[in-house]
Amino acid sequence: QVQLKESGPGLVQPSQTLSLTCTVSGFSLTSNSVHWVRQPPGKGLEWVGAIWSGGSTDYNSALKSRLSISRDTSKSQVFLKMNSLQTEDTAIYFCRGWELGYFDYWGQGVMVTVSS
Amino acid sequence: DIVMTQSPSSLAVSAGDKVTMSCKSSQSLLSSEYQGNYLSWFQQKPGQSPKLLISLASTRETGVPDRFIGSGSGTDFTLTISSVQAEDLAVYYCEQYYSYPTFGAGTKLELK
């Protein structure tokens, strides 16, 4: 069965770099894309970026200068790195396996708090 | 970016009510290539990840009760719950994937 699980530090200091891992099972990273979506506490959903099945990436234009998404297909893992973190980056970060029209699975999310 | 506007922001309902919520996009989501509208509806309950209810504007996901009905095309879309149940109290989001995904701000279904 398809599963995605996010992991990473719960607390990051301002101006530091966030590193998150999404470990997937039940599907191949070379067949389906993986997206990152975040949700500030009590607020709505914001698409962060994606790594496509072919390995190319796309990023939210508002975050692009601070963001990098990569993967290790042998470990079925996708990585998110975001630098220069600010308090407004405090959010639940979800990873999501997606393909148009037939594949849409979400992880449980990981809460990231940016605070000194 | 395509802007998604949902209304109303909240709805107070009683069990058995018929509920309609709106989602409007700043440009058409109709793909001529795939003959469909690139719009999804999600349900999110507190402490949970979003659950996909409907994709391609009107295709209900497996296991989603048939009281959830998605309709619309182009820039105007609607999610209807034909007879609200207590377990439907949640926040509902629309999402477009015609271009890089963007979400509406959500409609919160609350108990009257």
Is residue A101 predicted with pLDDT exceeding 90? no
B87 — phi, psi (to 5°)?
A: -75, -5
Per residue in A35-68, is it b (16+ CB within 10 Å) or e — as a string? bbbbbeeeeebbbbbbbbeeeeebbbeebeebbe
Q: Is B65 on the interface with A (CB under 8 A)?
A: no
- Say how many C-beta atoms besides its own lie within 10 A of residue B54's C-beta: 22
The residue-averaged pLDDT of A40-59 equals 96
Please answer whether residues B43 and B53 qualify as being in contact, where contact means their C-beta atoms are separated by less than 8 angstroms.
yes
User: Is there a contact between A97 and A78 (Cβ–Cβ < 8 Å)?
Assistant: no
What are the structure tokens assigned to A22, written together?
Answer: 């999404």
- Does A41 reach chain B within 8 Å, measured CB to CB? no
Nearest CA distance, B10 vs chain A (angstrom)? 13
- Which B residues in the span 15-54 are in contact with A, Cβ-Cβ below 8 Å? 34, 36, 38, 40, 42, 49-52
Tokens representing residue A67 in the block: 């963001």
A10 pLDDT higher than 80: yes
| B105/A44 CB distance under 8 A | yes
Complete DSSP assignment for A48-111: EEEE-TTS-EEE-TTTGGGEEEEEEGGGTEEEEEE-S--GGG-EEEEEEEEETTTEEEE---EE
Do residues B101 and A35 lie in contact, with contact meaning Cβ atoms separated by under 8 Å?
yes
Q: Model confidence at B92, in pLDDT bands (50, 70, 90)?
A: very high
Least confident of A21-30, A79-88, B31-40, B61-70: B31-40
Q: What is the pLDDT of residue B35?
A: 76
Q: How far apart are the first and last CA of chain B?
A: 36
The CA distance from B33 to B18, in Å, is 34
Asked if pLDDT for residue B33 goes beyond 90, the answer is: no
CB pairs under 8 A between A and B: 41
Q: What is the mean pLDDT of residues A34-58?
A: 97
Instruction: Locate B107 and state its tokens.
Output: 């409609």
- Give B-chain residues touching A101 at CB under 8 angstroms: 34, 36, 55-56, 59
Written as six digits, the tokens of B5 are 């506007």
Shortest distance, CA A9 to any CA of chain B (angstroms): 19
Chain B contacts of A47, Cβ < 8 Å? 100-103
Per-residue pLDDT, A39: 98
Confidence band (pLDDT; 50, 70, 90) for A89?
very high
Task: Kindly state the helix (H) or strand (E) to which residue B21 belongs, with its residue range.
Answer: strand B19-25
Q: B48 CB contacts (<8 Å, ≥6 apart)? A: none
